[in-house]
Amino acid sequence: DDGGFNASDGSCSGAMGQSTDGVAVKISGGTVYVNAEGDGLDSNGTMTISGGNVIVDGPSKSGNGSLDSNNGISLEGGTLIAVGSSGMVEYPDTDSKQKFLAMTADVNYEFTFKVCHENYEITEYKPQKNYSGNVSIIVSTPNLAENNEYTLYIDDNESGSYKVNEVPA
């Protein structure tokens, strides 16, 4: 299905949303880049990111997500940027050790986004594909603080304010 990383035990029981014990995607360091039209990072068990730099250019069409885990997504460290269609978006666990921002934007072209707190830039990224419609942007870095408000800019135009670990309804 043109997916990126997929953790499965190979049985049919792990397919289509059923969890599989002992199966995990664990990223603890290095640089991971995924460009997928299917699920970007997909685990039929758990997913943990505890270090490194992880960038996911996820699907441009609904039906898959940049992150997909049957038993939750735990953020414990490192940097995560995950962009993709918001049709099947899945967010990290709100009780993760490291904070994240769950943002959305309506785009119809290639774009660059940046996230800022006051005059301090947290991150800037240009996805490597065209997106059209409502796009999900998930960012997690050790620099995110609980009580700060963060502003999303799409091509230098303010696109919304967000607080950490708040998942859109």
Order of strands, sheet of 101-109, starting from the edge strand that comes earlier in the sequence: 24-35, 46-57, 73-85, 131-140, 101-109
Average pLDDT over residues 106-122: 94
pLDDT tens digits, residue range 15-42? 555 555 688 999 999 999 999 999 999 9
| The model's pTM | 0.91
pLDDT tens-digit readout, 36-61: 999 999 999 999 999 999 999 999 98
Rounded distance between C-alpha atoms, residue 18 and residue 15, angstroms: 6
DSSP 110: -
3-state SS, one letter per residue, for 39-84: CCEEECCEEEEEEEEEEEECCCCCCCCCEEECCCEEEEEEEEEEEE
